[in-house]
Amino acid sequence: KKPLIISTDPGIDDAVALTISLFAKELDVKLIAATWGNVSLEKTLNNTLKLETFLGTKVPVVSGAKLPLVKKPIDASEVHGKSGMDGFDFPEPDKGLLVSGLAATKIHEVVANSPEKVTLMQIGPATDFALYFRQYPDDLEKIEELVIMGGAIGRGNYGPYDEYNVSGDPEAAKIVFESGVKIRVAPLELGHQAFVKQDTMDIVRNYGKNGDMLYSILSNLHDGTLTDGLEIYDALAVGMLLAPDMYTFKPAFVAIDTNDSYTYGASVMDFDNFFGKPANAEIGVAIDREQFVNWFAKVLKEADK
């Protein structure tokens, strides 16, 4: 089993990615760091605990960053609901899962105590991993890789050229991409292919109580319609760990624009070596939608066994 640490901002698609990760037999989730992101830290932390309490899983949760490193925080509650995970009546969160201390320190402790290299997954803003890489540079050799949902090859979803997770904390994203750690990225464009519709969610809903919960929160996203297809962005990061064959990867040098400009928060992905810099990431440039949907339905079955 791959030891895994997740940085997340639940977030409805985060909840899907977390559920897949927590029940995947190939993965051993060691720690979840909840960061500010889709909504405030207070809410994402609460959502993480609520989700785990409902699922009955016992992975320790640490409170991550409350704010981006430099930029003012942004908010996506118009997409994910006021709580950040609207649409289902979750039980009261089990606060016993919460571990005290700084996220960077807790991440370091897990990595330092692991006999094997640890994989990292980032499905929210980069703040926590940036702080971690800055504080514990010697850990790099013990990191297997970092999989990220974030950035865009072309147009953005938060600004003309910026994707939400990178735009949320561009300075942190820059630190992460410059860290030297092995990185694989699921950019926004991949998300546009990774959508599920009513038929798939009907299957998932019938698996059992966990599938039913995911059905409820996903039907709440984007005005409650599954008719046109709902993009499950964050599941693409865990998909890279569980089913890498679904993706086509291309190496690129990724630069993050941290200038005070109209493209502040853009991820500039140089596939053609215009900048003469070595690639710092493998970018998922394509995914087969049929394969994604079949994989999605298959992995969620595990969650209700």
Binding site for ligand BDR (CB under 6 A): 11, 13-14, 38, 76, 79, 123-124, 149, 157, 163-165, 188, 233-234
* 215, 191 contact by CB (below 8 A): no
Q: How far is the CB of 135 from Ca ion (least distance, A)?
A: 23
Q: Cα–Cα distance between 74 and 169 in angstroms, integer?
A: 9
Task: Report if residue 84 touches Ca ion, rule: CB under 5 A.
Answer: no
Nearer to ligand BDR, 159 or 208 (CB): 159
Tokens for 93?
A: 């969160």
The footprint of Ca ion on residues 211-250 (CB under 5 A) is 234
Residue that has been written with the tokens 């051993």 in this structure: 28
Which of the 8 DSSP states describes residue 11? -
163 makes contact, choosing from Ca ion, ligand BDR, none, with CB < 5 to 8 Å by partner type, with ligand BDR
Nearer to Ca ion, 3 or 124 (CB): 124
Q: How far is the CB of 204 from ligand BDR (least distance, A)?
A: 18
* 230, 75 contact by CB (below 8 A): no
By beta carbon distance, the residue nearest ligand BDR is 164
Task: Report if residue 11 touches Ca ion, rule: CB under 5 A.
Answer: yes
Q: How far is the CB of 253 from Ca ion (least distance, A)?
A: 24
279 makes contact, choosing from ligand BDR, Ca ion, none, with CB < 5 to 8 Å by partner type, with none
Nearer to Ca ion, 7 or 200 (CB): 7
* Near Ca ion by CB under 5 A: residue from 123, 190, 246, 299: 123
Q: Tell whether the torsion through CA atoms of 217, 83, 74 and 100 is positive or negative.
A: negative
46 makes contact, choosing from Ca ion, ligand BDR, none, with CB < 5 to 8 Å by partner type, with none
**Cα distance between the two ends of the chain:** 18
Written as one string, the DSSP assignment of 204-223 is: HHTT-HHHHHHHHHHHHTTT
157 makes contact, choosing from Ca ion, ligand BDR, none, with CB < 5 to 8 Å by partner type, with ligand BDR
Strands ordered across the beta sheet of 267-270:
98-99, 61-63, 27-34, 2-8, 118-122, 143-149, 183-186, 281-287, 247-256, 267-270
Q: How far is the CB of 128 from ligand BDR (least distance, A)?
A: 14
* 226, 196 contact by CB (below 8 A): yes
Nearer to ligand BDR, 14 or 257 (CB): 14
164 makes contact, choosing from ligand BDR, Ca ion, none, with CB < 5 to 8 Å by partner type, with ligand BDR
* Near Ca ion by CB under 5 A: residue from 64, 81, 124, 239: 124
Q: How far is the CB of 181 from ligand BDR (least distance, A)?
A: 19
* 133, 181 contact by CB (below 8 A): yes
Residue that has been written with the tokens 């991820």 in this structure: 267
Give SS3 for 88: coil
What residues make contact with Ca ion under the rule CB under 5 A?
9, 11, 14, 123-124, 234
